[in-house]
Amino acid sequence: MARVAAVLRGGGQRYHVFCWLDLMSAASDPVPPLPLIIVPKRHVDNRGWFGETFNDKRLRDLGIACTFVQDNQTRSARTGTLRGFHFQKPPAAQAKLISVLHGRILDVAVDMRRNSPTYGKYVSAELSSDDGKQLFIPIGFAHGFLTLEDGVSVLYKVSDYYAPSGEGGIRWDDPDIAFPWPFQGADIILSERDEGLPFLADLESPFPYDGNPLKELPALDLR
| Secondary structure of the chain as H, E, C letters | CEEEEEEEEECCEEEEEEEEECCCCCCCCCCCCCCEEEECCEEEECCEEEECCCCHHHHHHCCCCCCCCEEEEEEECCCCEEEEEEEECCCCCCCEEEEEEECEEEEEEEECEECCCCCCCEEEEEEECCCCCEEEECCCEEEEEEECCCCEEEEEEECCCCCHHHEEECCCCCCCCCCCCCCCHHHCECCHHHHCCCCHHHCCCCEECCCCCCCCCEEEECC
Report, as an integer, the average pLDDT of 169-179: 97
Average the pLDDT over each of 28-37, 76-85, 123-132, 196-205 and give the range with the smallest value: 28-37
Domains delineated in the chain: 2-221 (2.60.120.10)
Confidence check: pLDDT of 65 > 50: yes
Instruction: Point out the least confidently predicted range of 86-90, 126-130, 150-154, 215-219.
Output: 215-219
* 121, pLDDT greater than 70: yes
Are residues 1 and 221 in contact, defined by beta-carbon separation less than 8 angstroms? Answer: no
pLDDT for the residue 30: 53
Q: What is this structure's pTM?
A: 0.85
Mean pLDDT across the stretch 79-97? 97
Q: Which residues are catalytic?
A: 86, 156
Q: 51 falls in which pLDDT band (50, 70, 90)?
A: confident
